Structure 1
């Protein structure tokens, strides 16, 4: 059996992400985010908006790279949001102002076109394209967006933007809202318009999140089972690193999984087990078989994690989460030195039940589960340990499981 040792050590594209330090200063107050977009909307359009939309980011507790293999995932929506103030237009133009990037983009609903250079506007035009492809009649609107989900950190800021745009367009245009179907349109936008072959986990979590719960998502049937989170704290740890070309590495691993499934006579790795893999391992190269091994064992870990949560057993849950990290590091080859360092610093803390990288990897964020009441000590010690190892200052913050995308209708009044 393969020990799943990483086949290469290509870290040349890792970059330091100094902006992530601003997460410590970033306004995490949801109501202040709303006030910010309301104020900017009034200044830019000289009228108050019709509605506010909020869409959360997410962390995945366990079940990484299993969603596009039709497997199981256990994410939770978090109290970090993209918020949007919006108002209807009389034409078919969507005008979007980003408060965070200090940029503006416009989308002509009747003349959708991909831009040569990728930008945050692609997620907006792609979401509208997906609605139109589904036969929806979309009206124009103005909007101002802002958020406190760090970009490129593995917390699904892009999915939050997609779901916010879909919710806004649906509300403005009178399109019935179905959280699963809209998540599928968000995935379609990212796959076909943006060019990232992601699964549906990110969009469905942002759409269907439930306060106080993680979601057991069966990515084959798209069933969603809310699972109460035990009395523990979930901390997100931003390593202050990002990696370029994550999309190409992501797509490569998706193709390797499809290849492995094909070698075993399957359409996806959902139906595979270790016995079938061992029978066919000689037909695959080492990387391909290692990818399959991770997915097969990760699906089992997800279901075991749900049982641990049901039994309120945070120690077992933590052990499963760390096993997931080891597999992502050694079998799936998507971790990085920075992610490994912050996970190991976390595991040295007595209050930590378990830690792992989260998201696509290669940089970005890890998560840790800790005892309640020990968060500040944990943050202080892990920050010191990580900075000593890397020379980088992490941003570590406690997250709570939150509800999914929502819209709030506002009373219309002219701005003075």
Structure 2
């Protein structure tokens, strides 16, 4: 996470005044439960120690000024003239949050903001959710808007689903808000009930970036539509309400892609429950096998992997200390996560970097990822 004093000092230098609110929100790892959130299913996830931090102060007009020093990004707009989303514009995520808050009739004026982050962009670690939640909480604290975490999550998710047009679920925002240090979060996305599961002491996640940038809009929405189609054929509200036997019995009545997408969702829900039991028993071998099975299902059923991710996952299988690996996040690029023996993680990271260089010619981004706390906000 970016040092908060760097953000506070940066705000003062940029605006010649002091910030009054500071908020931070982490990115996340999707451990198991791929694309299950919008099917009202189950997910195991974790907040990471990387995120976005923003300093804010009120303005006495309706203007919003935002600056990011690392990427030299600047935005200036009126709360009364936000307009439609601009394809590919980073500020869509912030504007979408504001639009969602305006829909709820919250009263707030303009603000100045200075932010930075260290979540890899377009990598499947939810840099977008970190941006949304840090700004949502910051604006809320600035103007005295108090909400439950579930509603802040809906505001962040609404930014993407309603303003930008990506039919995402609540996973990313929920994990950013609800994460706990050294613990996994298991979420039921029907009831929004959350359980914490202790992360294993003897293993860590090594995260590798495929450097394949993913624009999820078209592919994500197609997968979402196939899931809805399968649920309709099965005559259930969501795929969470079906089992594999029902799906197999109805296979001839649905499009083959709907069947395969549904197989993935049902399998992921089962793997989440099995993983919870394995983690409680500290059975890392079984947990690792579930990660491997998840990736195979993503590759063959949901088809949201890519050759670059498959290479990363397969490379790990030959290295000492490996338990299991899979893509994490929306897919179509982004990251793979590798469950690795903690004592062997350093060598594993080095060996994986060497493999990637030798086989792809790419300069790899490989990191040992710590599990961090959820979002915070404070007055300065």
**Shorter-chain-normalised TM-score: which range?**
over 0.9
Task: Tell me, in whole angstroms, the C-alpha distance in 1 between the residues paired with 2:248 and 2:70.
Answer: 50
Show the counterpart of 2:128. 158
**1:248 has 2:218 as partner:** yes
From 50, 53, 58, the equivalent of 1:88 is 58
Show the counterpart of 1:230. 200
Higher mean displacement: 39-48 or 290-299: 39-48
Show the counterpart of 1:199. 169
**1:54 has 2:31 as partner:** no
Paired residues for 1:57-206 under 5 Å: 57-206=27-176
Contact persistence 2:66–2:75 (CA under 8 A): yes
Contact persistence 1:107–1:125 (CA under 8 A): no
Paired residues for 1:3-402 under 5 Å: 30-31=2-3, 34-231=4-201, 232-243=203-214, 245-402=215-372
Task: Tell me, in whole angstroms, the C-alpha distance in 1 between the residues paired with 2:233 and 2:20.
Answer: 54
Task: Tell me, in whole angstroms, the C-alpha distance in 2 between the residues paired with 1:191 and 1:115.
Answer: 12
Show the counterpart of 1:9. none
What displacement does 1:386 show? 2.0
Task: Tell me, in whole angstroms, the C-alpha distance in 2 between the residues paired with 1:225 and 1:139.
Answer: 37
What displacement does 1:409 show? 2.2
- Could you list the per-position Cα deviations for residues 90-130 of structure 1 after superposition, in whole angstroms to 9, with x for gaps in the alignment? 12222110122202112322233114443011111110111
Higher mean displacement: 104-113 or 401-410: 104-113
What displacement does 1:235 show? 1.6
Task: Tell me, in whole angstroms, the C-alpha distance in 2 between the residues paired with 1:354 and 1:372.
Answer: 13
Unpaired stretches in structure 2, ≥5 consecutive residues: none
What displacement does 1:35 show? 3.1
Task: Tell me, in whole angstroms, the C-alpha distance in 2 between the residues paired with 1:94 and 1:164.
Answer: 16
Contact persistence 2:166–2:216 (CA under 8 A): no
Task: Tell me, in whole angstroms, the C-alpha distance in 2 between the residues paired with 1:168 and 1:397.
Answer: 29
- Aligned partner of residue 149 in structure 1, secondary structure: coil
- Could you list the per-position Cα deviations for residues 217-245 of structure 1 after superposition, in whole angstroms to 9, with x for gaps in the alignment? 001111111111111111211122224x4
Task: Tell me, in whole angstroms, the C-alpha distance in 2 between the residues paired with 1:405 and 1:106.
Answer: 25
Task: Tell me, in whole angstroms, the C-alpha distance in 2 between the residues paired with 1:302 and 1:359.
Answer: 15
What displacement does 1:285 show? 2.1
TM-score, normalised by the number of residues in structure 1: 0.89
Higher mean displacement: 380-389 or 289-298: 380-389
- Aligned partner of residue 383 in structure 1, secondary structure: helix
Unpaired stretches in structure 1, ≥5 consecutive residues: 1-28, 411-416
Task: Tell me, in whole angstroms, the C-alpha distance in 2 between the residues paired with 1:288 and 1:317.
Answer: 28
Contact persistence 2:320–2:344 (CA under 8 A): no
Contact persistence 2:305–2:333 (CA under 8 A): yes
- Could you list the per-position Cα deviations for residues 7-36 of structure 1 after superposition, in whole angstroms to 9, with x for gaps in the alignment? xxxxxxxxxxxxxxxxxxxxxx642xx233
Task: Tell me, in whole angstroms, the C-alpha distance in 1 between the residues paired with 2:108 and 2:96.
Answer: 13
Task: Tell me, in whole angstroms, the C-alpha distance in 2 between the residues paired with 1:397 and 1:261.
Answer: 39
Task: Tell me, in whole angstroms, the C-alpha distance in 2 between the residues paired with 1:303 and 1:117.
Answer: 38
Contact persistence 2:178–2:374 (CA under 8 A): yes
Contact persistence 1:214–1:227 (CA under 8 A): yes
- Aligned partner of residue 302 in structure 2, secondary structure: coil
Task: Tell me, in whole angstroms, the C-alpha distance in 2 between the residues paired with 1:224 and 1:94.
Answer: 35
- Aligned partner of residue 374 in structure 1, secondary structure: helix
Contact persistence 2:66–2:114 (CA under 8 A): yes
Task: Tell me, in whole angstroms, the C-alpha distance in 2 between the residues paired with 1:216 and 1:361.
Answer: 20
Task: Tell me, in whole angstroms, the C-alpha distance in 1 between the residues paired with 2:343 and 2:40.
Answer: 37
Task: Tell me, in whole angstroms, the C-alpha distance in 1 between the residues paired with 2:349 and 2:243.
Answer: 39
What displacement does 1:260 show? 0.6
